[in-house]
Amino acid sequence: MPLDPAKVDLDPQARTLLEVIALAGRIPYSEITPPLARAQFAELCRRTRKAAEFPVSVADHALAGPAGALRARLVRPRAAGEAPLPVLAFFHGGGWCIGDLDTHDAALRQLAVEAGCAVLALDYRLAPEHPFPAAVEDCFALLQFLAAEGGSLGLDPRRIAVGGDSAGGNLAAVAAILARDAGIALSGQVLIYPGTDFSRERPSHDDYAEGFLLTREAMAWFGGNYVRPADRHDWRASPILAPDLARLPPAVVIVGECDPLRDESRDYADALRAAGNEAAFHLYPGMIHGFFTMGGAIAAADRAIAQSAALLGRVFAS
């Protein structure tokens, strides 16, 4: 039985945001077309992002992908000058169906400045037009590009980390395993409320199924568009099922207490540690899904970005 948001000790800013969204009458994604769902998500991100100017330079690039050109956005802190920079390859959230470079732009500018590294965000192919494993292939291709040709963009191919939020955290976790198997040495992983298991059987999926922004209905729509039932046990869709999680780079895993993905995020951090990896897990009391990019509405976003930046600064300096 889902918990009642009115009876849960929600973060006050998260509660206010949920009330505002409810009053706005947001249409469930399952009831509209993917283009309209993308537009609705983009508007939510526009209204909740942090309105601040960060000292960065930004350039969009067209990179070769498995099925044609891919757009990627490179963010560099201006204070770093023109020297080759370590880089975070970042994959945006949105259930593999929505989201783009603009929905996450403000948070990534802030992260680049605080971490003192470049961030290269990928506009990977989205479902349902491009179902699994298209996004996986695109994200791994970005890591291959950085390892082989990152120097052409003023990036250090010896210092690459991977990261993402929600569906992007899923893709980052998968890409890290693929990179290890391909002999690409990564420095770290930033996993923000990552989806790691398509079974959707953990208690947090039931507890926070309705009323906490990310709903059971939305997850069913995302999953149904992205992956066929027969593929849900493929570890490239559910990385917690990977047969070998050893020899992966240090990770930070961040998730809110009132997020349906809480338990699978925690369990993935535990699985990484059990396999001999470093994995710091941070649970945000009373916090909902999606807060990492909501710095204009939820102050905890600043702390999550700072924790991500701390991991990146440390692993890039080692």
Nearest in space to 86 (alpha carbons), one of 97, 76, 73, 96: 76
How many domains in the chain? 1
Reported as a pLDDT band with limits 50, 70 and 90, residue 212 is very high
* Average pLDDT score over residue span 202-214: 97
**CA distance linking residue 201 with residue 17, whole number of Å:** 27
Of 166, 187, 238, 308, catalytic: 166
pLDDT at position 83 is 84
Residue 117 is classified by DSSP as: S
Q: Is residue 259 annotated as a catalytic residue, yes or no?
A: yes
* Average pLDDT score over residue span 292-299: 98
Q: Is residue 104 annotated as a catalytic residue, yes or no?
A: no
Reported as a pLDDT band with limits 50, 70 and 90, residue 200 is very high
What kind and span of H or E run contains 112?
helix 105-115
**CA distance linking residue 192 with residue 166, whole number of Å:** 6
Largest CA distance in the chain: 55
pLDDT at position 244 is 98
pLDDT at position 96 is 98
pLDDT at position 318 is 84
What kind and span of H or E run contains 231?
none
Q: Is residue 166 annotated as a catalytic residue, yes or no?
A: yes
Half-sphere exposure of 274 (CA within 13 A, CB side): 10
pLDDT at position 261 is 98
pLDDT at position 87 is 98
Reported as a pLDDT band with limits 50, 70 and 90, residue 79 is confident
Range of the domain at 142: 5-317
* Average pLDDT score over residue span 142-164: 98
CATH number at residue 158: 3.40.50.1820
Say if residue 81's pLDDT is above 80.
no
**Can you give the pTM of this predicted structure?**
0.98
Say if residue 82's pLDDT is above 80.
no
Of 123, 259, 263, 308, catalytic: 259
Reported as a pLDDT band with limits 50, 70 and 90, residue 24 is confident
Asked if 211 contacts 2 with a C-beta cutoff of 8 angstroms, the reply is yes
